[in-house]
Amino acid sequence: MTQCVHWRRVPLDLLRQARERSPSGHADPAVRCQLSEHRTGDHYGFLDDAEYATASWLRWSGDEAEPAVLADCPVTSAGTAWEGCCLFYGHGGRHTWDEDRSG
Ligand SMILES: [Zn+2]
Ligand SMILES: [Zn+2]
């Protein structure tokens, strides 16, 4: 799939929290939107895993950015190789395991 090309700097307070939660003390200072290409709607960058089956995301559009804890996407690939989706429940566009077949 073609991934959205938008990046966003992580707000300092969120970055500090992510580093405190991370076992390695590392967190990326900028995140890339993990959705497939989209023209409308918010962008979502992955921050870190939260509790079981949820993850922390940074949601933004324009200058506004806010943290969001979202449930994992439960949809898995139907092919021979089982693959889970790396996005969140109810996301738009394609799942991360979906190949670009549009040509
Ligand atoms: Zn995006
Ligand atoms: Zn998905």
Ligand nearest to the CA of 32: 1
Q: How remote is the CA of residue 63 from the centroid of ligand 1, in Å? A: 14
Residue 43 buriedness (CB in 10 A; 0-12 / 13-18 / 19+): buried
Q: What is the pLDDT of residues 51-81, one digit of tens each?
A: 889 999 999 998 899 999 999 999 998 877 7
Sheet holding 64-71, edge to edge: 43-49, 54-61, 64-71
Q: How remote is the CA of residue 25 from the centroid of ligand 1, in Å? A: 27
55 pairs with which residues across the strands?
Answer: 49, 70
Return the amino acid letter for 102: S
Residues, CB-to-ion distance under 5 Å, ligand 1:
4, 6, 33, 35, 43
Domain limits for position 61 = 7-71
Helix (H, G, I), strand (E, B) or coil at 14: helix
Q: What is the pLDDT of residues 23-62, one digit of tens each?
A: 888 888 999 999 999 999 999 999 988 788 999 999 999 8
48 domain residue, yes or no: yes
20 domain residue, yes or no: yes
Total number of domains constituting the chain: 1
Q: How remote is the CA of residue 87 from the centroid of ligand 2, in Å? A: 5
